[in-house]
Amino acid sequence: MTPASVMRALGFLTRLPVPARFFEAGDDGLSHDAGAFALAGILIALPGAALVLIGAIAGAPPLVTATITVFATVVLTGALHEDGLADTADGFGGGATPERRLEIMRDSAIGTYGVLAVVGSVLLQVSALAALADTGAMQAALAFIAAHTASRAAMVWHWSKTSPARSDGVAAGSGQPSTMAVNAGLISAGIVLALAAILATGLVVTVLAAIAVSAATAGFSRLARHAIGGHTGDTIGASEQIARAVMFVGLAMAG
């Protein structure tokens, strides 16, 4: 894992204009750069963490600050993961067979299941972040960074532990993340949780939140194997959203 791989991961996960030179040499593919997703999650979360602190200084209500922060991050990432969650919810909820579910997931239209899934995810994140901000702006900012880091590690774990559900698409074409990439992501997330989440909410709450994220990611991966036979780019995005919401809610229990 190198600074270049972090920048390439940042280019894939956000709308930020990453210089082309990072993609010109030493690019071993997206599955290799997946090891840097967790570190990229820190950089993605920093503007939101700053907004939390600014909101507190300006005296904005925690709920308003949390709403602006969450939606600012959606803009930064181009709603990449939210789109995956919506497509996954529509496919899993509306299809009777794996083939039909994959067909629905490929359709760009968003149905009732998708809308409800995204609204639920956003509401959980906003309400949990507001609760954290109500106890302290710095705690909320640190928890925000921790949640974004842990959720990117979770998506790499889901990606590595399930087989491609279709032979085409970005996920299938990128291959499986290597054991080294997965371990790099998990170790990075573990360090951030130790430094940020424990400072924000304490050891016990952090450990319980991490266990909840692990269980949610494992459960969703099992569901994906049953529903469509493995992963797609959409389920990888959905796993990030699920892990992020669970981590936010888990850390908010400290309040």
Per-residue pLDDT tens for 57-94? Answer: 999 999 999 999 999 999 999 999 999 999 999 999 99
Q: What is the pLDDT of residue 145?
A: 96
DSSP string, the chain: --HHHHHHHHHHHSS----THHHHSS---HHHHGGGHHHHHHHHHHHHHHHHHHHHHHT--HHHHHHHHHHHHHHHHTTHHHHHHHHHHHHHHH-SSHHHHHHHHHS----HHHHHHHHHHHHHHHHHHHHHHHH-HHHHHHHHHHHHHHHHHHHHHHHHHS-BSSSSSHHHHH-PPPHHHHHHHHHHHHHHIIIIIHHHH-HHHHHHHHHHHHHHHHHHHHHHHHHHSSB-HHHHHHHHHHHHHHHHHHHHTT-
What mean pLDDT do residues 166-179 have?
74
Determine the pLDDT at residue 210: 94
Domain ranges of the chain: 3-22+34-252
Determine the pLDDT at residue 13. Answer: 93
Q: Would you say residue 169 has pLDDT above 90?
A: no
pLDDT at 108 over 90: no
pTM, rounded to two decimals = 0.92
In this prediction, residue 171 has a pLDDT band, given cuts at 50, 70 and 90, of low
pLDDT tens profile 19-67: 877 777 555 677 778 889 999 999 999 999 999 999 999 999 999 999 9
Mean pLDDT, rounded, for 151-158: 94
What pLDDT, on the 0 to 100 scale, is given for residue 226?
A: 96
pLDDT tens digits for range 192-238: 888 898 988 899 999 999 999 999 999 999 999 999 999 999 999 99
